[in-house]
Amino acid sequence: MIEILVNQNLEKAMRVLKRKLIREGVFKELKSRRFYEKPSERRKRKEKEAQKKRRKEADRMKRFLP
């Protein structure tokens, strides 16, 4: 459940809502569900995402360690 308070400025509330939806991955989910994805393609995509996540984490750790 996402709760947003509107204080006289609807545009600002809409921007806040959009930002929260992006952080939660709602837009990414909608985009992925637009077309059917074969199970083999899904596996490949998830593996690529996992590799990217591991690479980012390794780079982040390199910055903190001298």
Spatial CB neighbours of 17, under 8 Å, sequence gap ≥ 6: 2, 4
Q: How far is CA 10 from CA 5, 17, 20, 24, 26, in A?
A: 10, 10, 15, 21, 21
Give the pLDDT mean for 14-43. 92
Q: Quick one: pLDDT at residue 66?
A: 64
Residues 28 and 49 in one domain: no
Q: Do 28 and 42 reside in the same domain of the chain?
A: no
Is the domain of 12 the same as that of 31? yes
Greater confidence (65 vs 44) lies with 44
Please tell me the total count of domains within the chain.
2
Kindly report whether the global pTM for this prediction surpasses the value 0.95: no
Q: Is the pLDDT of residue 42 over 90?
A: yes
Q: What is the pLDDT of residue 56?
A: 93
Say yes or no: 65 and 50 in one domain.
yes
31 and 44 belong to one structural domain: no
Is pLDDT larger for residue 51 or for residue 62?
A: 51
Q: Domain range holding 13?
A: 1-35
Is the Cβ–Cβ distance between 5 and 20 less than 8 Å? no
- Kindly state whether residues 31 and 43 are assigned to the same domain: no
